[in-house]
């Protein structure tokens, strides 16, 4: 990345002196005249698992999309101390900020292997590294290995979500952002996918998770941001939320 792409900024350091993996300050976004996200501050440390909770319409999806530059926003976004606010989406992804969107966004008429390969597009012809990433994804999600030549649209919802996460991992993320990965899945399947995210996090991957099923997210997250009406209503350790009642008092605060 050139100096024109990013400028060093003063980001809040972690306890070990490093800047956060990602930090946003005063980030906002609108759809026309509707302010979907009011100025928000948020950070994820290196290797941290952070979740964003909130009711429908709180601005959770817009937050992730604004960080990924999929929607225009105002405010500052810094990645490991570098200001990336002006970067286009493809350069943000190249840095290692990768998003699994709600709805999965798979290419339904392509095979599992072809969908995964698209995730490694940025590697060009680096065959050995691509095969290494295939092996990692197949180890995490053995069903994808078994269905490597199957058309994506013919898979179950849970298998498609595994594929969406696997494709994101093929890009080599440093920060993996996920928008409602449990949506529409049976509880057992959703729990399995969240357990895999926990394993990835224990291996050092930073994760920013938007989720409505609070019990699933709170099993894994270290910190929680509660959003309501486009604003952060609370930032607190995950173990301080013991019930839906605890969340509701922030939603309506």
Estimate the crossing angle of helix 187-202 against helix 127-140, to 10 degrees.
Answer: 130
3-state secondary structure of 168: helix
pLDDT of the residue at 252 = 59
Please report the sign of the dihedral spanned by the C-alpha atoms of residue 117, residue 189, residue 175, residue 247.
Answer: positive
pLDDT of the residue at 253 = 59
Phi, psi of 30 (to 5 degrees): -135, 155
3-state secondary structure of 210: strand
Distance between CA atoms of residues 159 and 189, nearest Å: 9
- From the number of C-beta atoms within 10 Å of its C-beta (0-12, 13-18, 19+), residue 136 rates as middle
Distance between CA atoms of residues 218 and 119, nearest Å: 28
Mean pLDDT by 10 residues, the chain (253 residues): 32 65 96 91 97 92 96 95 95 95 85 93 76 94 95 94 96 96 90 94 96 86 94 92 70 61
Does this model's pTM top 0.85? My answer is: yes
Q: Report whether CATH 3.40.640.10 matches the domain 18-96+173-252.
A: no
Distance between CA atoms of residues 192 and 162, nearest Å: 10
Closest CA to 193 of 172, 168, 174: 168
Q: What is the SS3 string spanning 150-167?
A: CEHHHCCHHHHHHHHHHH
pLDDT in tens, 189-233: 999 999 999 999 999 999 999 988 888 889 899 999 999 999 999
Distance between CA atoms of residues 183 and 161, nearest Å: 9
What residue spans define the domains of the chain?
18-96+173-252, 108-172
């Amino acid at each position: 990345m050139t100096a024109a792409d990013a400028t060093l900024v003063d980001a809040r350091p972690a306890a070990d002196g490093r800047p956060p993996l990602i930090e946003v300050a005063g980030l906002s976004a609108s759809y026309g005249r509707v302010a979907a996200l009011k100025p928000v501050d948020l950070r994820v440390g290196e290797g941290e698992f952070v979740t964003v909770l909130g009711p429908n319409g709180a601005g959770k999806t817009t937050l992730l999309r604004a960080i990924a530059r999929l929607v225009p926003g105002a405010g500052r976004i810094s990645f490991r101390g570098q200001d990336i606010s002006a970067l286009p989406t493809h350069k943000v992804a190249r840095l290692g900020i990768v998003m699994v969107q709600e709805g999965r966004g798979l290419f339904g008429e392509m095979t599992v292997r072809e969908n995964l390969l698209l995730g490694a597009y940025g590697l060009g012809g680096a065959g050995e590294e691509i095969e290494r990433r295939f092996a990692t994804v197949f180890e995490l999600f053995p069903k994808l290995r078994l269905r490597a030549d199957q058309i994506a649209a013919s898979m179950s919802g849970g298998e498609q979500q595994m594929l969406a996460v696997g494709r994101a991992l093929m890009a080599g993320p440093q920060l993996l952002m996920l928008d409602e990965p449990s949506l529409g899945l049976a509880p057992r399947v959703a729990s399995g996918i969240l357990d895999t995210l926990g394993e990835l996090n224990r291996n050092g991957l930073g994760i920013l998770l938007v989720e409505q099923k609070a019990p699933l997210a709170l099993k894994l997250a270290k910190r929680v941001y509660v959003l309501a009406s486009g604003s952060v209503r609370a930032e607190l350790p995950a173990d301080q939320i013991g019930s839906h009642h605890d969340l509701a008092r922030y939603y309506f605060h």
